[in-house]
Structure 1
Amino acid sequence: MAPKLQQFVSPGKGNGVQATASIRRGELVYSAKPLASCVSNKLSKEVCHHCFTRRETLLRCSQCKMARYCNITCQKRAWCDHKRECKCLRSLLPRIPTDSVRLAARLIFALLSPSENSSEELYTLEEHESHLSSMSEQKKQGLSHLASMLQLYLTQEVPVQEMTSALPPSCQEPLNLIAKVTCNCFTISDGELQEIGVGLYPSLSLLNHDCRPNCVMVFEGTNLQLRAVRDINPEEELTISYVETLSLTEDRQRQLEDQYHFTCHCQRCDSQDTDRLMLSGKEETQSLLKEALPKLEDLKAESNWQALLENCRHLLSTVGGDVPEENLYKLRMTDHAVDASIQLELWEEAVGYGKKTLPAYRQYYPDPHPVHGVQLMRVGKLQHYLEHIKDAFDTFRQAYEIIKVTHGDDHPLTADLLMKMKECHTEMDQHSSSSH
């Protein structure tokens, strides 16, 4: 682990990580490359399978037809990780295994040919929980299905005896391995915090969850950076949030139980402090919004932007002032309206909806939080595009105050924001000199 961190036993939680010295807000606490990672299936045509950059056009691997790369350089660099996977993918065509099966296979390939930097990490892979004993039969069955898929996927490339000789004892059984992978993998996101892949970062899986954590994780490519968002004292435990924190206590708790098999007793869950605000407004009116959300999610998944926007417009005008902007369901719907307006290039409408979300984001993400920073940045870009230069500058500045803490000075997103602020500054100067 990093110099200021050590593993310890966290009361009531098992393994955890605590500070051995003071850590300042905004400090980079730890950074790690993944032991194994892969681009999500649903984004496999949009994201380079080596550097995880989104691009309009990518080169496709001529053999498996699945992997895609920015250019020949990325393709060559990826080959040592991709060559075994390529054979496995070809053997199953046209079927493509799920993300967790591909990730587990990549983990096995990584363990079969360990690189020089993996020794420190592997020590903790062995200690990871599979949680099989606390799972429902239904969940175990789902995982068994994935485990047989994994065996089928690997038949061409990794004979069973090779697999057992190379893997630590607790990972030799495919079901155990798949259970560990699904409980301990991290979602890799891009600069806009959209999911692009999954990865295993064994040391960081030791971090425990809190619904108001003192650290956040951001990615640069597949490199994971852990940063403090509050000052942390020596011997204090470091925490991250495993789930989206913008949700009701019972929903967060249900997700944590289902996916990670524990009941959260953090201060935020015990006090349920934001639930009342999230459910503010007339009950029967907000239930309209709540019931409509699943359908809107489907329209978004189908990229049916026109229908999505029309539905949002109609519902938001129907509920009007009966439900305040801070209401969770209204906030989610307003967010969908922002996405749809941007896709349909209705910039004025997008900026109108975007501005409505900001007070709620400020309230629900009180610490510097990447989600709040990125939302401000989106609104700032819309204001800039519409030449509301002074507003854009102000919004970018607020975003920068957050992003420099959550992402650090040398992250591409921070550089992008500074660039945007400079552009606004120059435009405001030009405007004032031309009006004199």
Structure 2
Amino acid sequence: MAPMLERFVSSGKGNGLRTTTRIKRGELVYSAEPLACCVSNKLARDVCHHCFTRCETLLRCSQCKMARYCNITCQKQAWSSHKRECKCLQSLLPRIPTDSVRLAARLIFALLSPSKSSSEELYTLEEHESHLNSMSEQKKQGLSQLASMLELYLQQEVPDLAQEALPPSCREPLSLLAKVTCNCFTISDGELQEIGVGLYPSLSLLNHDCRPNCVMVFVGTKLQLRAVRDVNPEEELTISYVETLSLTEARQRQLEDQYHFTCHCQHCDTQDKDGLMLSGKESTWCPLKEALPRLEGLKAELDWQALLQGCSHLLSTVGSDVPDQNLYKLRMTDMALDASIHLGHWEEAAEYGEKTLQVYSQYYPDPHPVHGVQLMRVGKLQHYLEHIEDALDTFKQAYQIIKPTHGDNHPMTTDLLMRMEECRTEMVQQSSSKH
């Protein structure tokens, strides 16, 4: 752990992480490889299980039929961490354990063959909270079922956890799974889409704020923590555990359900954006709110045609009387954008995308990676449709955000620079062909 960070007790929050030096906006605060990680089940066929890159075609492990790799090199490098898991997966076929069970098992394998020195971690797994005492019976019940699944899954390789040379709390499947679910991080790709889950012990010290001073981005499985504002010495470092574009009540409920605390950050206590999110007459936006669960279902089923029809119909009828800032209208416009992209309706996609940009800039204080990624998506559409000047302008705005949130060397940043260069070259060619 870098000397610029230290543990401390954060008032009202328990353990926390703060800086010992002044950190500038955009600075890399810390980077870490996971103690254990795995690709999400729902993406198991699309993402390399070693380097976490999305690929059209992947090599499949001939034994467990589950793990996939982009090439032989990745497969060989993954073998040391996959070989025990491979036997466990084979023993359960055709059933596949949940992400949290697979992650907990990988964690046990990592602890049983400690290759990397975990001594420099500021926060050991033993100290991680399981929050079992504050869980509802229903949640404990769910975790108990996962714990039985974990024991069954490990049968081939670790028949008796209690006998192993593991930290005491890791010998108890229920408490281990509780720790995993409260402390794991979602690993996302450059476009912030979830691809897996991982445990980064020291970074579990980071407390939540709905307006944090740091963001996390990933390069493969490597987590990078960057400051999005200037941070003073001895100031606590914070990240957001949840998507912040939701009403205060919804954010607080999610944080209580998943992480067992009530958020009292300034953003929650002042509810400063709730009025804007509910702008317009309730009677006009209510139909949009009521339709969202059905539309989200269509999105989950990847029924893009029905999704686009549903969204565009509602947006053109009811939605025309609702301000663009309204949260439910924005969610629907975003879904219409996704559906249009999947169906290759580029003109429509660009229109929907452009509608969201003004609103995103109101909700996401810059630099915020979500706003940067949205600008980039819209810029790509404008470029494809040969609206070159618009595209260059959008890419420039994206670059102002992505550079501090992702850093100079992130693939997203280099991709953006390349696209801006392409636009400039095309504009020069256009103007010279006119003369």
Q: TM-score, normalised by structure 1?
A: 0.99
Gaps of 5+ in 1: none
**SS at structure 1 position matched to 2:317:** helix
Amino acid at match of 1:139: K
**SS at structure 2 position matched to 1:394:** helix
1:97 paired with 2:93, answer no
Deviation at 1:366, TM superposition (A): 1.2
Deviation at 1:320, TM superposition (A): 3.6
- C-alpha distance in structure 2 between counterparts of 1:117 and 1:419, whole Å: 39
Q: Deviation digits for residues 400-436 of structure 1, max 9, x if unmatched?
A: 0000000000000000000000000000111111112
- C-alpha distance in structure 2 between counterparts of 1:124 and 1:210, whole Å: 23
- C-alpha distance in structure 2 between counterparts of 1:72 and 1:122, whole Å: 35
1:31-110 correspondence to structure 2 within 5 Å: 31-110=31-110
Partner of 2:111: 111
- C-alpha distance in structure 1 between counterparts of 2:107 and 2:198, whole Å: 9
Partner of 1:394: 393
Aligned pair in 2 of structure 1 residues 164, 399: CA closer, same or farther (>3 Å)? farther
- C-alpha distance in structure 2 between counterparts of 1:116 and 1:326, whole Å: 48
- C-alpha distance in structure 2 between counterparts of 1:209 and 1:301, whole Å: 28
Deviation at 1:122, TM superposition (A): 8.0
Aligned pair in 2 of structure 1 residues 408, 164: CA closer, same or farther (>3 Å)? farther
**SS at structure 2 position matched to 1:196:** strand
Question: Is the CA contact 2:30–2:226 (under 8 Å) kept in the aligned structure 1?
Answer: yes
Partner of 2:258: 259
Question: Is the CA contact 2:369–2:402 (under 8 Å) kept in the aligned structure 1?
Answer: yes
- C-alpha distance in structure 2 between counterparts of 1:135 and 1:341, whole Å: 41
Q: Deviation digits for residues 341-368 of structure 1, max 9, x if unmatched?
A: 1111110000000000001110111130
Partner of 2:30: 30
Question: Is the CA contact 2:36–2:103 (under 8 Å) kept in the aligned structure 1?
Answer: yes
- C-alpha distance in structure 2 between counterparts of 1:383 and 1:87, whole Å: 49
Partner of 2:283: 284
Partner of 1:330: 329
- C-alpha distance in structure 2 between counterparts of 1:180 and 1:269, whole Å: 26
- C-alpha distance in structure 2 between counterparts of 1:412 and 1:421, whole Å: 14
Return 119-128 or 347-356, whichever deviates more.
Answer: 119-128
**SS at structure 1 position matched to 2:121:** helix
Deviation at 1:123, TM superposition (A): 4.8
- C-alpha distance in structure 1 between counterparts of 2:404 and 2:377, whole Å: 18
1:30-429 correspondence to structure 2 within 5 Å: 30-121=30-121, 123-160=123-160, 164-429=163-428
**SS at structure 2 position matched to 1:166:** coil
Q: Deviation digits for residues 78-97 of structure 1, max 9, x if unmatched?
A: 00010000000000000000
Amino acid at match of 2:134: S
Deviation at 1:160, TM superposition (A): 1.1
Partner of 1:9: 9
Q: Deviation digits for residues 137-159 of structure 1, max 9, x if unmatched?
A: 11111101111100000011112
Question: Is the CA contact 1:24–1:228 (under 8 Å) kept in the aligned structure 2?
Answer: yes
Amino acid at match of 1:115: S
Question: Is the CA contact 2:288–2:319 (under 8 Å) kept in the aligned structure 1?
Answer: no
Runs of 4 or more, structure 1, over 4 Å off, are none
Deviation at 1:283, TM superposition (A): 0.4
- C-alpha distance in structure 1 between counterparts of 2:63 and 2:343, whole Å: 37
Question: Is the CA contact 2:26–2:228 (under 8 Å) kept in the aligned structure 1?
Answer: yes
Amino acid at match of 2:391: A
> Among the aligned pairs, what percent are the same residue?
81
Question: Is the CA contact 1:230–1:367 (under 8 Å) kept in the aligned structure 2?
Answer: no
- C-alpha distance in structure 2 between counterparts of 1:123 and 1:428, whole Å: 53
Amino acid at match of 1:167: L
- C-alpha distance in structure 2 between counterparts of 1:260 and 1:369, whole Å: 23
Amino acid at match of 1:275: D
Q: Deviation digits for residues 255-282 of structure 1, max 9, x if unmatched?
A: 0000000000000000000000000012
Amino acid at match of 1:107: L
Q: TM-score, normalised by structure 2?
A: 0.99
- C-alpha distance in structure 2 between counterparts of 1:6 and 1:395, whole Å: 39
Deviation at 1:4, TM superposition (A): 1.0
Amino acid at match of 1:66: M
Deviation at 1:321, TM superposition (A): 3.4
- C-alpha distance in structure 1 between counterparts of 2:366 and 2:4, whole Å: 22
- C-alpha distance in structure 2 between counterparts of 1:164 and 1:282, whole Å: 63
Amino acid at match of 1:18: R
The CA RMSD measured in Å over matched residues stands at 0.9
**SS at structure 2 position matched to 1:15:** strand
Amino acid at match of 1:35: L
